[in-house]
Chain A
């Protein structure tokens, strides 16, 4: 039995990925507090604008029939540990925060593989100066805005108004908006979903990032996040797999503090415990995508692959891309659509989905059912169906990010009672938020074009969840017998890095190796933030946090 969550005390970016709820535009602002009282006043000023996790009646993705309407622009706040210190949250409280949050992301560089081309010397100035500990450059507060769009796909005008409001936050006294994002040193980080033409000719956002893959499909589902009605269909493939092979939502405590987690205990608490309740942690990362390098590399690999397999090069190109990720660029999972022909069938069969997803206004029951069926096709699969990686390679991106049931030591047990489902991976799940940044299809397809993804990870234990997944599963492979191979897409690649595509041991094909992987993704900045509940925001703003 799950007690309902106090969604009005929880920040909205924890329970939903705004990009999928009709907010394709985002701006991220970083602040430094020179003065504690001024900082608290700024928090107090922003407090009424904070978007909570309340359910919306007019959400295009899983509407809630009882809630209120969506805001035009959402606003959310988060603080670094130094930021909480600058706001004079008592040290007795701050000392009990976990060490990785206290240290901050730059200090965790070796664990996160922020080395080589991802080293801090290559970060955007705003992130680099903070990492270097430059005077007055420490990042204290993150403000995120997400905005709806107009018919021409540009952001609603309220986004500019809100931006101007943030620029004058603190009226120039004791609160500084930090500049130095991107190549032009802007005072905020922009992000925007890709825009495509709907069948009716209008522009609509889709979920593709710059390499051309549908992103963010398999986000976890935790207890209390959705209405029971929504949860019933979303949980398939996104929650946890039980020994009897049914899906259940993950424990709330994996993503929100103050609740039991998957180990059936309360995660780390501080004094007063109320301070972290309904809050969580966020890892913010700006990930640059070397699109030209990626396109060239895959094209080069495709030539030989096409020749050996006797297929056209464009088919080889798409196939290799799909093998690297574990999904076809249109999002179809390899487990469900293993061959190119399956993928083509998928395109035809679900051709009506983009229009349904983009439909403004209320959908009818048939449309909702159609979307729910599609959703299950996209997410509801188990790796038990492909233990040798014949369909979806063992080292593919989606297997590494979420291993589902693959680590179940009794994966092949015929009696479900002997299986463990996804028990081994349930404590390693992360919520992914964020949007792509930079232009799609720029005039020059070049690595130097400022584009990539703003990758925000939400979880209640950065060390156990985010850092573990990145270090052990993305940048290492021992847990699934892939040696020290790293993720073909996101991983840190060294000279001789490779990606192995398994072949069916019973079939005629031989395994394929994509060799000499260059670096496709590099880090351009990042920090760890605490995302407090609304009541905690009030306590911080009032300076009334009492650890006694």
Chain B
């Protein structure tokens, strides 16, 4: 849980990079991390504004179906937050010398981090495998250029061993960012169940006491009953917390792109038909419906990685 929620897989990859690694550029040895960062910086982004639009380049992830967001960065190390706070009285008692630097934690390597939100039916390895295959199929060149700097990527040359590489380097996320539910998801209220458990346990305890089955102290019985109820409530809450939300309506990428497309085309339709009514308007709308096929995800739609549907015709 965490890797999957509401119809989306939240993939987090941490691929180790040798901190002291080098690459040879024009006969000179250069930092591998510097080289990797440069490769990331020169990887085109999706269209973000009028300036990135002018480049006419697009992110390779735009070629991979179902990709909502993809982000790559290099993590050098854990950030040092300064000396841990300590109690001055305890320091005095245990003779802690504040002037002597405390141990600073480090990660064993630098890491190339990759986070991707993509459409998936569930959080299974099969779902991840399907997406990994698409990644490899659509952008193995770019993946090779980037992940080629990572430890353990040697020999990755097929869908199968790319998937294995992802599985080895995957981190399980605990906090997916998912904002596709625009209203509260349909979740049943657990309070009646909690009440029923409390009532049932109380009834059992009373029966045990009255029936003489419980031979120890009354307060022991109360403690047992209360503990049982709390444990059950916590267990149910945790279980429900680990259960993914159902897929939000129309939250897959194809639907999102189609919606963006239809919205834009409909504004054009409105402008073209300002002030019209009756049969004229009806016929115009019928033509709009036939041309743009609002309900057909396979029909005309907005390409991924761009801001507007107009871009193609510019």
Contacts and interface: CB of A to CB of B under 8 A. Distances in A.
A304 interface: yes
A513 B272 CA distance: 10
B212 to A, nearest CB: 54
B267 A513 contact: yes
Contacts of A513: 267, 270-271, 274
Contacts of A308: 274-275
Interface in A297-311: 304, 307-308
Interface string A295-328: 0000000001001100000000000000000000
Nearest to A301: B274
Interface string B27-57: 0000000000000000000000001000000
A498 B271 contact: yes
Given A307-B275, A308-B275, A496 B310 contact: yes
A515 B267 CA distance: 10
Q: Which of B271, B274, B275, B310 lies at the interface centre, i.e. has the most chain A CB atoms within 10 A of its CB?
A: B274
Contacts of A304: 274-275
Interface in B215-271: 267, 270-271
Contacts of A307: 275
B275 A515 contact: no
A498 B274 CA distance: 13
B274 A512 contact: yes
Contacts of B310: 496
| A contacts with B: majority SS | mixed
Interface residues of B, number: 7
Contact of B267 (A110, A498, A512): A498
Contacts of B270: 511, 513
Contacts of A512: 274
A304 B51 CA distance: 36
A304 B271 CA distance: 12
A304 B276 CA distance: 11
Interface in B257-314: 267, 270-271, 274-275, 310
Nearest to A512: B274
A496 B310 CA distance: 10
Interface string A470-512: 0000000000000000000000000010100000000000011
Nearest to A516: B271
A457 B271 CA distance: 36
Interface in A504-537: 511-513, 515
Interface in B38-84: 51
Nearest to B273: A510
Nearest to B310: A496
A174 B274 CA distance: 63
A93 B271 CA distance: 55
Nearest to B51: A110
A493 to B, nearest CB: 13
B154 to A, nearest CB: 43
Nearest to B264: A483
Nearest to A110: B51
Nearest to A496: B310
A512 B275 CA distance: 9
A515 B271 CA distance: 7
A512 B274 CA distance: 7
B93 to A, nearest CB: 38
Contacts of B51: 110
Nearest to A483: B263
A211 B51 CA distance: 32
A307 B277 CA distance: 13
B123 to A, nearest CB: 32
A513 B276 CA distance: 13
Contacts of B274: 304, 308, 512-513
A305 B236 CA distance: 61
Contacts of A511: 270
A496 B271 CA distance: 10
Most buried by B among A110, A304, A513: A513
Contacts of B271: 498, 513, 515
B256 to A, nearest CB: 15
Nearest to A515: B271
Nearest to B271: A515
B229 to A, nearest CB: 33
Nearest to A511: B270
Contacts of A110: 51
A293 to B, nearest CB: 20
A513 B275 CA distance: 10
B195 to A, nearest CB: 28
A507 B249 CA distance: 30
Contacts of B275: 304, 307-308
A117 to B, nearest CB: 15
A171 to B, nearest CB: 48
Nearest to B281: A510
Interface string A431-454: 000000000000000000000000
A496 B264 CA distance: 11
Nearest to A115: B50
A304 B270 CA distance: 14
A510 to B, nearest CB: 8
Which of A304, A307, A515 counts the most B-chain CB atoms under 10 A from its CB?
Answer: A515
A235 to B, nearest CB: 37
A421 B275 CA distance: 38
Contacts of B267: 498, 513
Contacts of A498: 267, 271
Contacts of A496: 310
A312 B207 CA distance: 86
A362 B274 CA distance: 53
A498 B264 CA distance: 12
Given A511-B270, A513-B271, A513-B274, 12 more contacts: A110-B51, A304-B275, A307-B275, A308-B274, A308-B275, A496-B310, A498-B267, A498-B271, A512-B274, A513-B267, A513-B270, A515-B271
Q: Which 9 residue pairs of A and B lie closest in terms of their CB atoms, listed nearest first?
A: A308-B275, A515-B271, A513-B271, A513-B270, A304-B275, A304-B274, A513-B274, A512-B274, A307-B275
Interface of A: 110, 304, 307-308, 496, 498, 511-513, 515
5 contacts: A308-B274, A308-B275, A498-B267, A513-B271, A515-B271
Interface of B: 51, 267, 270-271, 274-275, 310
